[in-house]
Chain A
Amino acid sequence: MRKVNPLAAATGLLLLISAPVFAHHGNAGYDMSTMMIRKAATIVDLEWTNPHCQIHFDATDDKGNVEHWTLEAPPPGMLQQRNWERKSLKAGDVVTVYFHAAKNGVPVGIVQKVIFANGDILHAYPDPN
């Protein structure tokens, strides 16, 4: 995983702040107004596929139940432009995940970014305003 220069990242985010999240099928199924956060999420798999990569992880909810989440991410070529690699997330990695969840409450969504224990950040999409 490549480290992110905080200053460069901050500058990039400032420039990208108004960029819309592009999902090839649109975002109508997701609650884009609410950012979900799952700390201590355990990665199960990163599928490096078109039309979207998929991140699978387990996380414990407020009631102590383990949820299995599936999040869509940009396709490989777009993730590469944002410093991701196929092995950026490996099974067993424990990370914090920011995402927008489906409106209907099922554990699927669209990832925004992943923060690693050492503070490194990988953005799937630019942060919103």
Chain B
Amino acid sequence: MRSCFISPVVAIAIVAAGYSTARARAPAPKAQAKTSAPDISGDWGYTEGHSAGFTFSITDPTGSKAGTPEDDTPYKPATLAKLRAERPENGPNATFENSTDPRLKYCDPIGIPRIYLVPTQFRILQTPDIVYILYQYGPTWRPIAMNKEHSKDPDPSWWGESVGKYDGDTLVIDTIGFNDKTWLDHVGRSHSDELHLVERLRRVDRETLQLDVTFDDPKAYTKPWQGRKVFGLEHKGMGDSYSCSMSEYEHFRESVIDPAISKPAK
């Protein structure tokens, strides 16, 4: 598949307009200049046949082994202890109450790569200088500076500093400069501020996008480890954005969570 960069002006206008155009389908790519870049543009999500799961593990996508003796994730002892002390909503220690998940407890940004585990959509817009990923969740937009070097010492942030390049048919996104406040997945695996994340996005066929992730975090894990997710091309356009709101969450908690965890009436 050959590409088809869209005009940077068009892309920036779309980004600037936020999600007011979200219900519309992604604009058809306009050929500007023939390049060798692969076309991975479009709206992607967990369409029929693809499952989000709760982790990036290929062998344990629901995270049922997380923190157990069967879990082969190369944790350092402190990282494993931290995982076991968390109260996630999914995995072997799933809880319905008093979750320690920072995105629930504080509405913290969900971060990368966990945002890919939410069964919402994301739109990829490719321009020669910047690839934009617009996530329905948040909504969040993320610029990937193409063919640039990282800053010397990026300040820690929720989303880190991402640079990208094409490697054949694959977009390779290299991100550093994270803070250590986000979880890597829904079962509570943590990371340090030394996380070096590499995302490899490849269009397997017209309808399928594969994400391979490498987690390299020498402060938290003994060696790099990998994960994978597969997405389908969305044809309906992106739906309403998912916005974290503590007031709406409180309303939901009072209506559903609190009754569901209350002691049964005798």
Contacts and interface: CB of A to CB of B under 8 A. Distances in A.
B239 A108 contact: no
B51 A30 contact: no
A49 B244 CA distance: 10
Contacts of B264: 104-106
A67 B51 CA distance: 34
Contacts of A75: 240, 242
B261 interface: yes
B127 interface: no
B49 A15 contact: yes
B39 to A, nearest CB: 23
Interface stretch (B9-17, B73-81, B88-96, B176-184): B88-96
Contacts of B124: none
A26 B94 contact: yes
A106 B260 contact: yes
A15 B17 CA distance: 35
Contacts of A76: 239-240, 242
Interface stretch (A77-85, A87-95, A112-120): A77-85
B249 interface: yes
Contacts, number: 111
B260 A104 contact: yes
A15 B236 CA distance: 18
Contacts of B62: 20
B3 interface: no
Interface in A4-37: 12, 15-16, 18-20, 22-30
A70 interface: yes
A12 to B, nearest CB: 5
Given A29-B97, A77-B136, 11 more contacts: A26-B88, A26-B90, A28-B94, A50-B244, A50-B245, A75-B242, A77-B121, A77-B238, A102-B260, A105-B265, A108-B259
Interface of B: 45-46, 48-49, 51-54, 62, 88-90, 94-97, 99, 104, 118-121, 136, 234, 236, 238-245, 248-249, 251-252, 255-257, 259-265
20 contacts: A16-B48, A20-B53, A24-B89, A24-B104, A25-B257, A26-B94, A28-B94, A28-B96, A49-B252, A51-B248, A54-B252, A76-B239, A77-B121, A77-B242, A78-B239, A80-B240, A102-B259, A104-B264, A106-B264, A108-B256
